[in-house]
């Protein structure tokens, strides 16, 4: 399977240098409308606090530790869905009616499939999202982000775009990657 796009995440401007040199996200479209994301963190990954693997399950607070994230919306609509993916195999899915306004819980979308591996100089996080987990509509707007926690607890924030004076992945101006359903 070949990536339909590759996006480079950028650290939040003014952040102190950390152990990660670059983060690329390879985007693959699945035949049945699903989405596969491969986050590749390159650098001194031995200095990154990588959550221990556990049974796949929903968990809150993943954004406070090393994880990949995807924000998905339909252009012109204020609602969006946030996905968090931990190297542990844990995940979170949050729906918002508008900027940081959580929706009333509704139908729970299918859980993402997550696999991670730590190699010399590289942490890879593979995520597969079922088509039913994505908002209905085409095209979609995607915001791709990552949080990296170092062994000393320092967090760095990476995104396609940082449109604010502080890290804020929920800003729609950060959803810069168009995604057309197959």
Model confidence pLDDT, tens digit, residues 128-147? 999 999 998 888 999 999 99
- State the CATH number of the domain containing residue 175: 2.60.40.1190
**CA–CA distance, 178 with 81 (Å, rounded to integer):** 15
- Split into its structural domains, the chain has a count of 1
Q: Is 6 helix (H, G, I), strand (E, B) or coil?
A: strand
Residues 83-113: b if buried by 16+ CB within 10 A, e if exposed: bbbbbbbbbbbbbbeeeeeeeeeeeebeebb
Domain that holds residue 35: 5-179
- pLDDT by residue for the chain (182 residues), tens only, comes to 455 889 999 999 988 889 999 999 999 988 788 999 999 999 999 999 999 999 999 999 999 999 999 999 999 999 999 999 999 999 999 999 999 999 987 778 899 999 999 999 999 999 999 999 999 888 899 999 999 999 999 999 999 999 999 999 999 999 999 988 66
- Helices of type H across 7-99: none
Q: For residue 92, which phi and psi values (nearest 5 degrees)? A: -145, 145
Number of Cα atoms under 13 Å in the Cβ half of residue 113: 7
């Amino acid at each position: 399977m070949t990536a339909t796009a590759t996006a480079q995440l950028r650290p939040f401007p003014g952040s102190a240098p950390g152990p990660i040199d670059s983060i690329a996200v390879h985007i693959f479209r699945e035949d049945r409308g699903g989405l596969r994301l491969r986050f590749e963190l390159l650098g001194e990954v031995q200095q990154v606090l990588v959550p221990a693997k556990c049974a796949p399950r929903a968990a809150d607070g993943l954004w406070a530790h090393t994880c990949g994230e995807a924000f998905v919306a339909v252009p012109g609509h204020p609602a969006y869905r946030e996905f968090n993916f931990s190297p542990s195999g844990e995940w979170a899915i949050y729906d918002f009616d508008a900027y940081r306004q959580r929706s009333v819980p509704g139908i729970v979308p299918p859980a993402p499939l997550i696999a991670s591996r730590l190699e010399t100089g590289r942490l890879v996080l593979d995520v597969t999202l079922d088509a039913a987990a994505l908002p209905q509509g085409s095209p979609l707007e995607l915001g791709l982000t990552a949080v990296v926690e170092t062994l000393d607890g320092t967090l760095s924030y990476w995104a396609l775009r940082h449109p604010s004076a502080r890290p804020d992945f929920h800003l729609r101006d950060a959803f810069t990657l168009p995604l057309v359903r197959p």
